Each structure stands twice: as structure tokens, then as C-alpha cells.
Amino acid sequence: MLLVLLKVAILSLISLSTLFMLICIVSTYWVIQIFKDNVTHWGLWMFCDDYACYTATGGGYTKTLLILGLIIGSITIFFAGLELKFGANGTLGCLKLLIYMNFAIAFIELIGMIRGSFIFTSRISFSWSYYIGWVAVAMAIAAGGISVVNHLLEPVEPAAIVNMEQGVISVPSSGRESEILPQAEVPPASELPPSYDELSASQPHPQDMNSVATITPGTVA
């Protein structure tokens, strides 16, 4: 039950992280400036005032890194869902991949957010979509940490145990009972077929069977 809850936590965290990063990228509230009665707010793509919105330029590295993190996050959601549905016994093998992907997302988005912090001047205050981007980074880090814990606690699928002497094949698996074939029955020695040596002792040699005694008239006399 604990392992399933950990997988649910991984899927939930990386899904929320990806959603928050999407909001952070498309929103126009990275920074805000209030000057008298005029409110101006900026995003990565647009800046708006009280009258209209305009295209914003610059921040190419920040945009590229955050979009890359968003793409990897979407792929990670797919693998996290597969691990939750089909990897209950650790047989799917996505846990290691999830560790690498979650930490990769966190690292890429972290660099992007740090670079984005220096796009705007210090006279402007950061707004809610900027902070929601940092929440997305924190969730990706948490998803990576939980993936490590889940990988350490996940039982390894054991190999089949074969006992040839007793005729038993045991295939234990996590959450299932061992499948044990019935013990092979060896017939008693009295019912075993005769060996080659026994057949040779009980039957005459073929050369002896082909040799016929020759009787001559002189012998009869």
C-alpha cells in the first residue's frame, strides 16, 4: 500500500509541477509595476497596461529552458502513469527513469527561473506567476526525492528457483503465492526397465546364436 501511495504522490507532484510551469510561462504576471493609477504587468511573452497588451522581446534562454522543462514534464507524467498502473511489483522498470527525469526537470527549470529573475529591472516587483514557477521547481524536486525512496523500497522481482533433485520448480513473486509444481514421482527400482548389462547377461551373444555345431559321418560313427 505504501508503494502505491508513493507512486500516486510522484504522479500528482509532477502533474501539478507541469501545470504550474505552464501557467508561469503563459501568464503576463511575472512582474508588476504600479505607477499612480496605471498598473503595468509583464510576462515572458507579453506586457500589458490598462489599455492593451504588447509583445515582449528578450529572455530567449529563459523561455527555451522553461519550455524544455515543460516538455520533459509532460513525458514524465506518461511514464509515472505507466508505473502506477503496471509497475505494482517493480516489474516495469520506470522508477530509475522517473528519478532521472524528475531531477532533470528540476535542474532545467531552476536554471531558467534564475535567469528569468534578471530579465526585469529591480524597480519592478515580482508577481504571482513568478512565484508559481518556483513552486513548480520545488514540486519537481520533491517528485525526484520520492522517486528515490520508492526505488529503494521497491522489492526486486526474484528469479525462478529450480530444485532438480526434488523435482520442484518454485517461482516466487511479490504479492503472489509461489507456484510450485508437484514433486516428480520416481518409480521403484523393481519397475524400472532392465539396463543394458542385465540384458547382455540374460541373453546369449549374437555370435553364439549364429554358431551351429557341425556333425560329420565320422563323428557319428
Give the pLDDT mean for 25-54.
85
Domains of the chain (ranges, CATH numbers): 2-153 (1.20.140.150)
Give 98's pLDDT tier (boundaries 50, 70, 90).
confident
Edge to edge, the sheet with strand 125-126 lists 53-55, 46-48, 38-42, 31-35, 125-126
**Strand-pair category, 38-42 with 31-35:** antiparallel
Give the pLDDT mean for 18-28.
93
What does the pLDDT read at residue 178?
44
Give the pLDDT mean for 189-215.
52
What does the pLDDT read at residue 183?
53
Least confidently predicted of 11-25, 34-48, 79-93, 167-181? 167-181
- Cell (9 digits) for 180: 510450485
| Mean of all residue pLDDT scores within the chain | 76
Q: Give the pTM.
A: 0.66
Alpha-helical runs (H) found in the chain: 2-26, 60-86, 95-116, 128-153, 196-202, 206-210, 217-220
